[in-house]
Chain A
């Protein structure tokens, strides 16, 4: 069947649609227009100069710092993660504030924190919740003081990549893409802030861990040198783009070689959705059992959706908009009831959970004796 579905998909999705020649001509016409447009010349007074003037006038460097930059917990609050902001105030968090300048940019590693369930948001990968994570906050600004393009601007281009690297592992083959990584970013007062998160890497504290910031959306093999013999990772000094490299000062007491090896094996296998994760998910879901939810949570009014018995064995679409995701399509969950109830099984079970800054919403599926299926949300 898998061969058949493979073949059918290939056949079904052969790109058969072709653009009209007129459409292509239209693109070329617009391209000529764009090329011919002369950009207006604006003489900008660099923000740095304005700041210098302000500093001279007030004589207060502190005031300048406070005006221009957000504190690390403010950055995290700005992305709506109060829980993580609190974690950055705790003892285990490390404030770094190390700056590096390359090309037109100044990049600052502000700080880092690691731990289990530090964030209000659960990271899900193929059904598994990855709760034990490391978070680092960086800021990127232009050296000439001109503002970074706002992330909500149509012209915003995601041209940076921040990724942890592990000493002894070639960053080309082990970077944030393999570590269930993610990033939240925004621009405030012309400075771009990024909260980078991925699986907890404290276990590697004994080996040495770096945080690289590249001036491209993807990892670039030319940005860093990897010494096969020593395992050292260094910046390629001849690289023309941005290739900042910070050492992440992780707590050495958290070094755990056995855990590190296990993580490496998982990442290298490239199978973050493997059985182990699925078992973890099942564990998490078992903990959120129906009896517990029934006792501690309330049904969200209007969330219940009923499906006829004939829908058993099919994929049911259920809309869940709790994460503030503006994309309605990404809020649609596909739920197969036969994954939760065998043919002759009835009852109520928890199908999953989603979190936002206000808490966790649980998806509950119920199969009645008459076969009727109800999906609802509890909080």
Chain B
């Protein structure tokens, strides 16, 4: 993603047209992030707008020679999504501690077939089916590269809880993928 520095300069100075142009440029990247962290498009757009506001507010802190613009806005968007998630108090997720025996799906999934048959939209919809906290933790860990320690700091939980959420997400996702690939199971 190439962004004209003059466009950034104008957007920083409050030029509405420049901000609009920047919004259009950033929209797909930010939307891709938001759709992973939110349940539907409406929530994703709301989060995107908040993130874009932060981008506008912090444009003067952006150092072009240090980090690519796309990575920078992606990082801001992730942080915004996490902040909003915490602010909206969606922590009160119902966590059911069932005594069901965890099933291991690794052995019966053909990952090559999964890669061929499943596209991003499929996977995105699967992520959105996860419980909210589990969704955030799995996104942060598996797709955005945060460590369990960082996740525990960001979300205010222990590292063990973070690991549990990741494992829980994996089990769920594998189960759903298996179902997608072989509806008979």
Asked if A and B bind, the verdict is: no
Q: Footprint of B on A, CB under 8 Å? A: none
